[in-house]
Amino acid sequence: MPPIEAWGMFFISTGQPLERRNFVIDNISDDDVVVKVAGCGVCHTDLGFLSGAVGTKHDLPLILGHEISGTVELAGGNYQNLHGKQVIIPAVLPCGECELCQGGRDNICQHQLMPGNDFQGGFASHIVVPARFLCELDDDLGKFKLHELSVIADAITTPYQSMVRSGLKKDDLAIVIGTGGVGLYMAQHVHNAGATVIALDIDEAKIKTAMQQGADFGICTAGMDVRAIKKEIRALVKEHNLPKFQWKVFETSGSTAGQNVAFSLMTFAGTVGIIGFTMGKLELRLSNVMAFDADLFGNWGCSPKYYPPVVRGVLDGSINLLDNIVEYPLSQLNEVIELANAHKLSRRAIMVPDQE
């Protein structure tokens, strides 16, 4: 194969700026493809890697980034049909063969590969990636540009799988805790499924956005304790004749406070889903799960099988994407990371490789 001259923003060591480096792709396997990156979203997980709070599986230096869209520029022998195709790279790439994959739980495959964690990621001009589970897109994306669809790979698909896991039905009451990059789409998904949505967040502006994009009610919980939050929710339930039981509670904030609220909202025949991640610990009375005959589940990423319906939702406009993203050139990644760490990004940042 002719060599491909590429470049990426490498994570060298914790606390240091990412460093731009050139590299050459001169060999791939028959099961791999080379994707020319159109865009790569900046995720909270990337910030965790950079801070050292979460370790990468691949040794440093490493190119981060796992919300990736692009065009297949070179295809291995077994996937020549993908050459030239527009694709989204799932953030979780399963093996497809193991016990978990065969049992329908491929999102937690123990042989899975994650771009920007297990191998070089998407903050680059090009990426070499296993081809088997790529989400192939139509040539015509309507009003969308390819790079804009990159965040489907995590921020939009992860909450979709969580909704499916919860067994949510039309007319259910769904409570979404945290309406940031993932929670906002959680609210949209459950709204589209016909549920009544109550959104909780400590940021009034985020609550306002959530109510513009699917939430029926919003509660700014800044300064409120668990008892006050429960009281306000029960008041909404009574006033609007909403379901008293069987609530679907989705914790997306990734905070100990949020998880504490989620567990406290568990009710009879209710379901609590933990979607956000934190290293923080809680002291809980797990017997509540038994006493309420409730369900408690966690969610890791999203199976590639759920990508097509999410893509359709974005393209047909039932999932609002464009109001929630902002584009930056990849060369400004260090500056964007500073903004993200300072909580100065109100939209999901998508890094687009500079034209050279």
Residues 111, 150, single domain; the answer is yes
Q: What is the CATH number of the domain that holds 175?
A: 3.40.50.720
Residues 202, 261, single domain; the answer is yes
- Per-residue confidence (pLDDT) for residue 53, from 0 to 100: 86
Residues 28, 135, single domain; the answer is yes
- Yes or no: say if 35 and 72 are a contact pair by the CB < 8 Å rule: yes
- What range defines the domain where residue 341 resides? 4-154+302-352
Q: What is the CATH number of the domain that holds 74?
A: 3.90.180.10
**Cα distances (angstroms) measured from residue 346 to each of 71, 78, 189, 241, 303:** 28, 42, 20, 34, 27
- Per-residue confidence (pLDDT) for residue 279, from 0 to 100: 84
Residues 21, 150, single domain; the answer is yes
Residues 264, 322, single domain; the answer is no
- Yes or no: say if 33 and 131 are a contact pair by the CB < 8 Å rule: yes
Residues 188, 294, single domain; the answer is yes
Residues 161, 281, single domain; the answer is yes
- Per-residue confidence (pLDDT) for residue 141, from 0 to 100: 97
Residues 122, 203, single domain; the answer is no
> pTM, whole model, 2 decimals?
0.94
- Per-residue confidence (pLDDT) for residue 246, from 0 to 100: 98
Q: For the chain, which residues score pLDDT lower than 50?
A: none
User: Of 298, 325, 340, which residue constitutes the final position of a domain?
Assistant: 298
User: Of 298, 314, 343, which residue constitutes the final position of a domain?
Assistant: 298
User: Of 253, 281, 298, which residue constitutes the final position of a domain?
Assistant: 298
Residues 32, 115, single domain; the answer is yes
What is the dihedral angle through the alpha carbons of 47, 52, 54, 55, rounded to the nearest 10 degrees?
120
Number of domains observed in the structure of the chain: 2
- Per-residue confidence (pLDDT) for residue 2, from 0 to 100: 82
Question: Tokens in use for 124?
Answer: 């680059």
Residues 257, 134, single domain; the answer is no
CA-based Rg of the chain, rounded to a whole angstrom?
21
What is the dihedral angle through the alpha carbons of 195, 92, 180, 234, rounded to the nearest 10 degrees?
30
Residues 144, 281, single domain; the answer is no
Residues 149, 178, single domain; the answer is no
- Per-residue confidence (pLDDT) for residue 6, from 0 to 100: 97
Question: Tokens in use for 54?
Answer: 């979460």
Cis peptide before 61 (omega within 30 of 0): yes
